[in-house]
Each structure stands twice: as C-alpha cells, then as structure tokens.
Structure 1
C-alpha cells in the first residue's frame, strides 16, 4: 500500500519540474524575444545568428547558476541576496519588480499584437482581453495547478506552429550556421537586448522560484533541478534558433520587413510572407500564447520578490498582489503611446541591464558564502563560467545603454 503515495508524489514532482521548465521556456520565448528576433534579423540578416548563439550560451550559464543557488539555499532570490549582503535583496527586488512591470507592459502589448494578427482585433482591446484572462487564472482557487497546465499546453502550441513556419520559409541554413560562429558583424546592443529578452530581469528567476513553491528546494534536489534546467535551456535554445531561421528565410528571399513605422509588426510580416494567410494566423496564435504565458510568468515571478519585504508571505497574498500588478501593467499599456513593437524591443534591453546586478550577487554567494550553501560542493567550472558571463554582461550593458533607449523613438 505504501507504493501508491510514492507514485503520486513522483508524478506530482515530475509535473512540478515540467511546469517550472515551461514557465522558464515560455518566459524566455515571449513576445519580446519574438519581436526582437524579427527586428534584428530584418536589419542584420544571417549575422544575427551569432547573437542567438550568444544568448543561448549566456542563458545556459546564468540559469544553471541561479537555479542551483536558489535550490541549495532553499530561499528566494531576494532572501539569498539579503543574507549574503544585507540590503542588497531590497535593491534586487525593486529592480526586478520595476523591470518586470516594464516587461509586463510589453507582454500585454505582445498579446494584443497576437490577437490583432489572429483575428484582426484592435491591439489595445487585444491587450485588455489578454490581461483580463491572465487575471482570471490567478483568481482561480486552483491557481497553482492552472498555471502549470496552461503554460505547458500553450508552450507546445508555440513550438509546433514555429516549426511549421520555419519549414515553409525555406531559410539559408548553411549561411546561418556559418555566421553563427563567424559573423560578418557583432552588435552589442542587439546581444544585450536579446539576452535581456530571454534571461534578463524576472525571467532569470521564474523557474527557480516556481520550484521552491512546489517544495523542490534543498541540497537533495539539486541534481534533479539542474538536469531539468539544462533540458529546458536546450529546448528553448533550439526554439530560438528555429524562430530565427523562420524569419531569416523571409528576409533572404528579398521581402522587405518594416521595423520602424508606428504600426510595424515585423514578426507578423515575416510569418505572412512565409506562409500566407495561414502563416499570419499561426503567428497570431504563437504571439498570443507567448504573450499570455509571459504575462503570467512576469506577474508571478515579480510578486515572488515581495518576500524581500515580507518573508513568509502566503501564496494567497501573493496572488492578490499579482492581480494588482497585472492591473497596473494594463493601465500603463493603455496610457503609453509607444508603438507595441518598439516597446517590446526596449523592455528586453532594459532588463538586460538589470541582469548583471543579480548575477553578481549569486556568483558571490556561490564563491564565498559556503554557510548559505549548506556545505554543497559547487562545480568549479560552473562558477568560473558564471564569473566570466557576469563580467561580459556588465561590459555589454555599459556599451548598449544609448542604443537601447533609442528603441523608444522609432521613426514615424
């Protein structure tokens, strides 16, 4: 009779791991990343393949370090930071919440663009409807289970649709592979922006915090969690590259994609050029799925940082705070006059500037605070790689500040 609870526990544990992986994955392949990829592929062509590779490698190192430290300490990111350097958790929480808010305004804009492409709905109304749906999910009495299941289903839909369009666009794979390792040009602003759109700000902590909420913290779970993180990163890496190839095929065929006008929706243009009306509708579904899952991910993770100010905060209180967070994001989206596509590019860059702050704190904990790591033997290669990536993100961030803020003022 004892085997029955064990089977149930194993099944629940596996579902939690899959849910955390998909939360990370759908946050990393959100509307910001999709729009950024279309914008930069249209302007840089195959050379942007190097930016995709750089984002995948940086993502790999960042996520493996963050997930490991959070899991081993059994504390959320701001609590880890405060324990390591008193007061730093408050700074990190403020940065993540502000960055998450800007990201969520972009996520609502992306969901609105998705419904516009899917059914011709006005972008503002599309964003409003999507935000209300996300709020409804958090209002559910079984919000935790609902979040995991919805994110998994929509994540699978995004992957299937993207693969379909990538095949239809017939991209120059050979040239893309060459420029992945030998690019004709390297642009730090685009790399910082794409990194911010995939692992910057709240995205870094989304999956790790979800695992803590599902009871998978502690040294005993570190190997399982690290393997789950690695699988998730590899899946998202492949999907990023497939999305890039889908848009590159369109650009290489000679189609000119508008990336600068007020009404520009670069990714929608690319998908429509690749597969006609079906491609446009497929894109709408992909972008809406990316938008709604990212609204959930940004709101959920940003509000998990409230533990910096109120340790032990209950899930019910966090869910109510999440509803307020979504409402503020919606009001900001409706009030801001910046075109949705430009906004999505900017928020990625802005969160890319936040990334090195948190990463620096976590590398310090892994390197110097054995007391917080409960005697865990931290892999030396992962620590060194984390330090190198940390220095790199600081360097790229300083070099990209001006160009990133320029994204807010596209030409008319």
Structure 2
C-alpha cells in the first residue's frame, strides 16, 4: 500500500526535497552567463592566484547567505516584508531595486541562453533566446509548476557541474599550485573579489533560496538548523562550480594558450573549452552556458516576482502570471536590442552592488535590535558580528560599483 503523503516519512522526504530545491535555486541563480565569463576572464588574467579570490569570496558569501536565510526563516516573511517591518518604507526600496536589477539581468540571461544554443546547434542566438524564454514560461504556466521548477533547477545544476568536470579532467590543470595559491597567493586582487561576490550573492540571488523555503513553509526556529545547513550547502555548490570551472580554464592557460580577452565579442570560456576538446569542447560549453542561463532566467523571474507581494497580495495563480509576464518582457527587450548592451549590464551591476549592502544592513539590524520580528529569538551574536563586518565591506563594494557606473557613463 502506498505511503500516505501526510505520514512522517513522507513529510521528511518533502522537507528534504524543499531544502534541496532551495539550495539549487540559489546556486543556479548565481551560476549564470556572467558567472562563467567572469571566472574565465579572471583565470586568464590571474592564473592560479585566482584561487585565493574564490576562497575569499566564498567566506564572504557564507556570512551573507547564512544570516539572510536564517533571519528570513525566523521572521517567516519575505525580505521586503521584513525590511518594511523593521524600517518603514525600506521594503519598497529593496523591492524596486531587486525588480529593476532582476529584469535587466534577465535580458543578459536570455542572451546567454541564445548563445548556448548557438554553440550547441548553430541556432540563431535570437531564436535560441526566444525558445529558451518560452521553455521557462512553460514551466511557470504548468499546473505542476512548483515540481517542474524544483526538478529543472536540480537536474540542470548537476548537469553543469558534471560537464565542467569532464573538461577540468581533460585539461589536466596544476591542482597542487592552485591549492597552494588558495592559501598563499602570489597576487591578491581586491577588485576581483568584489566583482565575484556581487555575482554570487548580489542583487536578487541571495534571496532566491530563502524565498523558496518560505514558499514551502520550511521556516521557524524548529527548522533553523536545517536552514543553516541548506544555506551553507548552497554557497558550497556555487563554490564547487566556480572552482571546477576555474580548474578547467586554468589547465588550458597553464598549457601556454593565450585566451583573447579583448573586445565585447571575446568569449574566453568558449575558447578554453574549444582548446581542450576541439569541436566537442565548444558543444559542451554550449550545454554549460545554456544550462547556466536558463536556470538563471528561472531564478531571476521567480525571485524578482516574489518581491511584488510587498505592494499587493498575490495568490499562486496571479504570481504565476506575473512571472510569465516578467520573462516575456525580458524577452521583448532582448529581441529589440539584439543582446544585453554593455550600458545596461554596467548600470545593473551598480544596482547589484547596492542591493547587497542595503539588504544585509537591514537584516543585520533585525538580528541585533528586533527580536520581536523573529518570534523573540535571540540571534547568534558571533554570526551578527561577522555580518556587521561583511556589511561594512559590502558598502565599500557598493560605493566602488557606483563609481564604476559614473566612470562608464562619463567615458
């Protein structure tokens, strides 16, 4: 006889599935086309020394992710509602920033999906981008959207890591040297650390997994230990993918190949995969890029729309329609523009640099001063101190991001 869905073992399995879905939603949201391009570019520039930047960014990401996921679970509210309850009006600001940033990045995600299908099959990037966007729309329009969402992001996340591992083994990177420079780097590039932190927990990304757990009801003090494990695992998955991709590119660079980083059309990751495995390498790159892009389309749409609830109450059907509109509008912008223009990506990069410190400041304040919003829970003080330190660092990063925007606009 089939086991009842309401049985303890079924409930435990559902909870595990929920945590796994949140982990991969956060991780695959972070692993987008920009993530792949950044990793390849910095590996080509810094070589083995990039390993230290990866480690430093992972430590910072752990602090950010851990605090925001845990406080979201304790408040039982999404980020914008928590922000409004803590500081009236702050939630509206956070929601607007996330929506604008998520929309602009989704144009880049759809462009990345089109380029992935182009590398795989030679398909026109616009047609590939449109097909990918409609696939994402189909997932959200399905009556089993939640299940399809969870399975798609988990399956594609595993596929990305697996395919990149194949290339990493093929290129035979200097693993020993990379491990040495993880701890004792020849070069420390703070600007690089700033950039990749923004790319892995900036903008909407840090809230994606937390909001997924909220939607599944996996919140409250009773779930705090599991939420903690899930948040740490999410960043670990992202870190593993970053490190595996780094090793794959490093093997090519260490063999003496010089990757072309000049011009907007430069694609160092595609060059590295092609050098490693020839035509098949280019096809594998297409799979990895497409998987990264389509999961980021899904993650950006899901998370950005979750912030709309601060303005109005949305039932499940209305939220699904809003998500479809969000993706379709992103597609229209991409089709009209043909690609994600550099101006948009630089501008939204500044938004990413601002959303992180604004959100983290609010959550750190809640942890220190608003136990009433967390059901009277006295939040872990060492975690809060770490959060305050990282918060100050992210404000510096945000300031640098804004400086980059002004420099670009004035050029």
Partner of 2:323: 322
Counterpart CA distance in 2 for 1:339 and 1:42 is 23
Contact 1:265 1:341 survives alignment (8 Å): no
Pairing of 1:212-361 with structure 2 (within 5 A): 212-310=214-312, 312-336=313-337, 350-361=351-362
CA pair 3-331 structure 1, distance change in 2 beyond 3 A: closer
In the TM superposition, what whole-angstrom CA distance separates every residue of 1:349-395 from its partner, at most 9, and x where no partner exists?
64133211111110010111011011213111111111111111111
Q: Which runs of 5+ in 1 are unaligned?
A: none
1:174 pairs with one of 155, 165, 176 = 176
Deviation (angstroms), 1:216: 0.9
Deviation (angstroms), 1:340: 7.3
Contact 1:112 1:125 survives alignment (8 Å): yes
Partner of 2:193: 191
Partner of 1:46: 48
Matched, 1:124 2:152: no
Deviation (angstroms), 1:260: 2.7
Counterpart CA distance in 1 for 2:306 and 2:18 is 17
Contact 1:71 1:208 survives alignment (8 Å): yes
CA pair 350-38 structure 1, distance change in 2 beyond 3 A: farther
Counterpart CA distance in 1 for 2:99 and 2:375 is 29
Counterpart CA distance in 1 for 2:287 and 2:233 is 25
Counterpart CA distance in 1 for 2:197 and 2:392 is 14
Partner of 1:91: 93
Deviation (angstroms), 1:139: 0.8
Counterpart CA distance in 1 for 2:347 and 2:281 is 26
Partner of 1:387: 388
Contact 2:353 2:402 survives alignment (8 Å): no
The two structures, once aligned, show a CA RMSD in angstroms of 2.3
Contact 1:109 1:333 survives alignment (8 Å): yes
In the TM superposition, what whole-angstrom CA distance separates every residue of 1:298-351 from its partner, at most 9, and x where no partner exists?
0000000011111x4212111111111111211222233666799778755641
Deviation (angstroms), 1:261: 2.3
Counterpart CA distance in 2 for 1:340 and 1:112 is 15
CA pair 90-294 structure 1, distance change in 2 beyond 3 A: same
When the two structures are aligned, how many residues end up with a matched partner? Answer: 409
Deviation (angstroms), 1:204: 0.5
Contact 1:343 1:407 survives alignment (8 Å): no
Partner of 1:77: 79
Of the structure 1 ranges 60-69 and 388-397, higher mean CA displacement relative to structure 2 is found in 388-397
Partner of 1:18: 20
SS at match of 2:169: helix
Of the structure 1 ranges 59-68 and 393-402, higher mean CA displacement relative to structure 2 is found in 393-402
Matched, 1:37 2:52: no
Partner of 2:368: 367
Contact 2:107 2:339 survives alignment (8 Å): no
TM-score, normalising length from structure 2? Answer: 0.93
Contact 2:204 2:300 survives alignment (8 Å): yes
Counterpart CA distance in 1 for 2:344 and 2:46 is 20
Of the structure 1 ranges 399-408 and 138-147, higher mean CA displacement relative to structure 2 is found in 399-408
Matched, 1:203 2:211: no
Contact 1:196 1:353 survives alignment (8 Å): no
CA pair 344-278 structure 1, distance change in 2 beyond 3 A: farther
Contact 2:97 2:351 survives alignment (8 Å): no
